[in-house]
């Protein structure tokens, strides 16, 4: 059976608008707002955090609820604060539950549209639990963009971080979240 789109002559414009809207929505992403620095931990919400070394390109980790939820993006930087240099701790709120890191991507925060996307395999190593009132800490990551002729290459790689360095970043970026609230995921600290 073949799928075809049939439009009566009077409805061609309507069909074209519908098709254009479907194409635009296909590239849309949900960028979770970055938790404000002054946030006080809530007992009914969970948190996910990572330390990121950003570039001028907007990178993020795609996080998917394992109970059939949509993918949301943990941004490497706060989209409302452009041109952040140096490593930073970024945190978002998510409902408690079981999640996995499903992709990494680059995006345009103004248009809420992905530019590139790398699917990650379904692996237990990429799964984590968001617990009420606690922070699931995913690790430290760097992002880079390079050129080879007419090809653009994006790369994300994990970096080592000690508990002492994570503690200093937590005190700087989220002073109301003591390090005792952090649940480092396996392999996130060295």
Residue 28 has pLDDT above 60, yes or no: yes
Is position 3 within any domain?
no
Domain-embedded: residue 189: no
Is residue 67 included in any domain, yes or no? Answer: yes
Per-residue pLDDT tens over the stretch 33-76: 899 999 999 999 999 999 998 776 788 899 999 988 788 989 88
- Identify whether 111 is part of a domain: yes
- Position 92 in a domain: yes
Q: Report the C-alpha gap between 54 and 85 in whole angstroms.
A: 7
Count Cα atoms within 13 angstroms, Cβ side, for 91: 30
Read off the CATH number of the domain in which 69 is found: 2.60.40.3540
Asked if the structure places residue 170 within a domain, the reply is yes
Beta carbons of 48 and 138 less than 8 angstroms apart:
yes
For the segment 109-163, what is each residue's pLDDT rounded down to a tens digit? Answer: 665 666 788 898 888 889 999 999 999 999 999 888 788 888 877 788 899 999 9
Q: E-assigned strands of the chain?
A: 46-53, 58-65, 71-75, 88-94, 97-108, 113-119, 127-130, 135-148, 151-159, 182-184
pTM of the model: 0.79
Helix (H, G, I), strand (E, B) or coil at 133: coil
Number of domains in the chain: 1
Q: Which range of residues forms the domain containing residue 80?
A: 29-184
Does residue 1 fall inside a structural domain?
Answer: no
- Looking at the chain, list the stretches that DSSP marks H as alpha helix, in order from N- to C-terminal side: 12-26, 163-173
């Amino acid at each position: 059976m073949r799928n075809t789109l049939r439009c009566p002559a009077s409805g061609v414009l309507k069909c074209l608008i519908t098709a254009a809207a479907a194409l635009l929505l296909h590239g849309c992403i949900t960028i979770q707002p970055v938790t404000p620095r002054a946030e006080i931990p809530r007992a009914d919400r969970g948190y996910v955090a990572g330390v990121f070394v950003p570039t001028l390109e907007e990178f993020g980790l795609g996080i998917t609820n394992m109970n059939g939820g949509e993918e949301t993006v943990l941004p490497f930087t706060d989209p409302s604060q452009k041109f952040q240099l140096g490593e930073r701790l970024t945190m978002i709120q998510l409902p408690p539950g079981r999640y996995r890191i499903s992709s990494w991507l680059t995006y345009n925060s103004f248009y809420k549209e992905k530019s590139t996307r790398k699917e990650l395999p379904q692996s237990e190593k990429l799964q984590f639990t968001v617990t009420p009132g606690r922070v699931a800490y995913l690790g430290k990551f760097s992002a880079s963009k390079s050129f080879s002729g007419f090809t653009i290459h994006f790369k994300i790689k994990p970096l080592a971080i000690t508990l002492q360095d994570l503690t200093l970043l937590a005190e700087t970026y989220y002073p109301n979240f003591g390090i005792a609230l952090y649940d480092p995921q396996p392999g996130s600290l060295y």
